[in-house]
A and B are shown apart, each in its own frame.
Chain A
Amino acid sequence: MNRLALFIPLILCIALGAFLFSSLDKDPQELPSALVSQPFPNFALEELNDPERLVSSADFRGESQNGQVVLVNIWATWCFACRIEHPYLNGLAEQGVAIIGLNYKDNRLLAQQWLAERGDPYQMTIFDPQGTLGIDLGVYGAPETYLVDAQGIIRHRRVGVVDERIWNKEFRDLYNQLVEQASGE
């Protein structure tokens, strides 16, 4: 019995090592999202290209969206990673994925120029110069992408660039499943 007790420190060391090793892969920048499976927050903000038009949370409640499954992409012209992400979003839009832009703490003219130069993958772009909707969404860095289902419930959130790898890994299956559900109703 006493001899076995001598192994306790070794076992503790191995357990600690295993715990630390398993933590190596974790991204410390990643926050657990508080909004997944919550409804998209209420808001009323101007459209980027059409200041007369007020975009609101009603646009996510199956009325103007026709019960569409949408991606909401938070971007800004000051955000370097958004430049890398943009071509991939253009590609997704061509494949028929509905994307709504949220222009976050930006300048309207610069943002319009950006879309004119790089192509506009967004069905519409919410203009949020103060970052108020950003705070309601818990945005802490651009780019961020939310998958919102036909009922306006946030189903997935990705902080950082969405590229082909991330799309296939995190979004594709869930997106297809949600689209199928929406068309079945």
Chain B
Amino acid sequence: MVNKLCLGLLLLISCELFASADVVEFSDEELRPRYQQLIAELRCPKCQNQNLADSNSPISVDLRRQVQRLLEEGMSNQQIKAYLTSRYSDFILYRPQVKQNTWFLWIAPIALLLLGLLILYRISQRQKSTVPLDKPVEEPAKETLSSDDQLRLRELLKNTNGDSN
């Protein structure tokens, strides 16, 4: 009994979910991919972090309908974006145009990558100059032991050998 009730409720919920995804009709099916691309790239003005495709807020529903209408009227993607930015400002574009106040956004990733590579290069250069890899490491140690020290070292080694025996 309870199971049946649960199943019924689940069915109800899934029906509702299905109904909320709106069906868009186009006179020409070639418009559909452009529509999908546009609503993915346009931002919902009310809900900040969603695009028009994801959002179900009333303004997004209206703007999706408007995009569809403008596509049917034969506007190009560029014209539709211009239409919306003239009303909702650049805010509505998730892919901002390169302009005076947006060039930094576009340049920053490349500039930071180059800066990182430069720092990496400098660090590797510095390591090369402090540790010469082409010479054997023991060599300077040999040089620093004077002949007296060598003698003492030999003595010490003799003694320890004698102890262990």
With known contacts A34-B85, A141-B59, A29–B48 Cβ distance under 8 A: yes
* 0/1 string, B89-121, CB within 8 A of A gives 1: 111000000000000000000000000000000
* 0/1 string, B45-70, CB within 8 A of A gives 1: 11010000000001100110010000
Question: A131–B62 contact, CB under 8 A?
Answer: yes
Question: B88–A138 contact, CB under 8 A?
Answer: yes
CB closest residue in chain A, given B63: A135
Does A181 belong to the interface (CB within 8 Å)? no
Question: B45–A135 contact, CB under 8 A?
Answer: no
Question: B46–A140 contact, CB under 8 A?
Answer: yes
Q: Shortest Cβ distance from A59 into chain B, in angstroms?
A: 20
Question: A34–B48 contact, CB under 8 A?
Answer: no
Interface size class of chain B, counting residues whose CB lies under 8 Å from the partner chain: 10 to 19
Q: Which residues of B contact A141 (CB under 8 A)?
A: 46, 59
In the bound complex, what is the Cα–Cα distance between A35 and B91 (angstroms)?
13
CB closest residue in chain B, given A139: B59
Which residue of B48, B87, B89 contacts A135 across the interface (Cβ within 8 Å)? B87
Does B86 belong to the interface (CB within 8 Å)? yes
In the bound complex, what is the Cα–Cα distance between A34 and B83 (angstroms)?
11
Interface size class of chain A, counting residues whose CB lies under 8 Å from the partner chain: 10 to 19
Q: DSSP class of A's interface residues: helix, strand, loop or mixed?
A: loop
Question: B66–A105 contact, CB under 8 A?
Answer: no
Question: A135–B91 contact, CB under 8 A?
Answer: no
Q: Which residues of B contact A137 (CB under 8 A)?
A: 87
Does A173 belong to the interface (CB within 8 Å)? no
Question: B89–A138 contact, CB under 8 A?
Answer: yes
Does A31 belong to the interface (CB within 8 Å)? yes
Does A50 belong to the interface (CB within 8 Å)? no
Interface centre among A31, A33, A105 (most CB of B within 10 A): A31
* 0/1 string, B27-50, CB within 8 A of A gives 1: 000000000000000000110100
CB closest residue in chain A, given B58: A105
In the bound complex, what is the Cα–Cα distance between A138 and B58 (angstroms)?
14
Q: Which residues of B contact A32 (CB under 8 A)?
A: 89-91
In the bound complex, what is the Cα–Cα distance between A138 and B85 (angstroms)?
9
Does A96 belong to the interface (CB within 8 Å)? no
Does A184 belong to the interface (CB within 8 Å)? no
Question: B87–A35 contact, CB under 8 A?
Answer: yes
Question: A135–B62 contact, CB under 8 A?
Answer: yes
* 0/1 string, A130-165, CB within 8 A of B gives 1: 010011111111000000000000000000000000
Does A28 belong to the interface (CB within 8 Å)? yes
* 0/1 string, A17-36, CB within 8 A of B gives 1: 00000000000110111110
Lowest 3 CB-CB distances: which A-B pairs, in order? Answer: A140-B45, A138-B87, A34-B89
Contacts A141-B46, A141-B59 aside, 13 further interface pairs with beta carbons under 8 A come to: A29-B48, A31-B89, A32-B89, A32-B90, A33-B89, A34-B85, A105-B58, A134-B62, A135-B63, A135-B87, A136-B87, A140-B46, A140-B59
